[in-house]
Amino acid sequence: MRIDVDGTLLEAVVFAEVRAREAAGDGGCARRYHRDVEVSYARPPGDERESAARAVHARWFTRLGLDARLRTAAIEAGPALGRADRLLVHAVASAHEEGADLHGRPSPELGREELTVVVSIRPSRFVDGEALARFLRHELRFVADLLDPTFGRSIAPAPDARTRDRYRLLWGISADGRSARAGLAGLRSREAWAEEFDRAFRSLPAEARAGAFGRLFDGPRPSHAAFLSLAGRPVEAMGGRSEGPTAGSRCPICRFPTFEWAQPTASIPEPVVARIRAVFPEWTSERGACRECVDRYAVASTRTALVPSGP
């Protein structure tokens, strides 16, 4: 797999590394670098100068061992990543723009689709080599999964934002768990992932959460369909049966998504049920209601009961 780095990232990363080495006492490195750059900028302004400057920074990127960080991360991501033809790394300005993705385009030369792994990264990531390695191996594992036929990735998006967020969380846990089993540090610690998993699936019993997290972090990578099932219908995905509305779905009364359903729905008092059905005739207690709606109608039914019925 060919690795290409865009000129903006090359220059920023090389310059920062040279400055760091100069600050650490390696003045010779800085003098050699500046001498090479000055030679390239002695050319007339235009494309020729830009090409020469890029070539200088590409050589220094390799000389300083910065390219090895990319190659090592690609190897650590797993053999499936080798199905790609090219790894393109380019600079972005903010953290929310960072990540890795897979792009394909028809290639008459290859006689098939050319696959390019695109890594978007801030130049400042290269300051801390270990943090850079954790970030790259985490992101590249995602792309390696996409390239693995057994993953079965569908191009259809998850049905809602909450399921998409959960899906990304589950995938991240699995990616870092595989790194941990290979003796490599992940993007986050096991404890940090467990805390986020508990927050995202807090509607599940603690024992079920612990078991599901352990299987994700310590077990083999699930398929795309398994991730999607657990993200969208966690109770059913773990072999259980939903006893009522799922956390995060919409309350049939107020129509807002809720994680706080009245539990159990059969315990909703009859006066409250009657009050709700007076406004929503088609509603039944089996459909459930959020805790706030039940409390609101409970107050309303109490007030109604207190109104004198006669003189």
Phi, psi angles (nearest 5°) of residue 71 = -65, -40
Phi, psi angles (nearest 5°) of residue 184 = -115, 145
Question: What pLDDT is recorded for position 231?
Answer: 87
**Is pLDDT of 126 > 60?**
yes
pLDDT in tens, 291-303: 888 888 888 756 5
Tell the residue number behind the tokens 């219908």, with chain if given: 233
Confidence class for position 266, pLDDT limits 50, 70, 90:
low
pTM of the model: 0.72
| DSSP classification of residue 123 | G
pLDDT (mean) for 258-281: 78
Q: Which is more confident, 259 or 229?
A: 229
Strand order, beta sheet including 112-121: 2-5, 86-91, 112-121, 99-107
**Is pLDDT of 273 > 90?**
no
Confidence class for position 256, pLDDT limits 50, 70, 90:
confident
pLDDT in tens, 44-101: 888 888 999 999 999 999 999 999 999 999 999 989 999 999 999 999 999 999 999 9
Q: How far apart are CA 70 and CA 75, in angstroms?
A: 9
Q: How far apart are CA 238 and CA 246, in angstroms?
A: 14
Q: How far apart are CA 285 and CA 269, in angstroms?
A: 10
The residues that bridge with 103 in the sheet, in sequence order, are 116
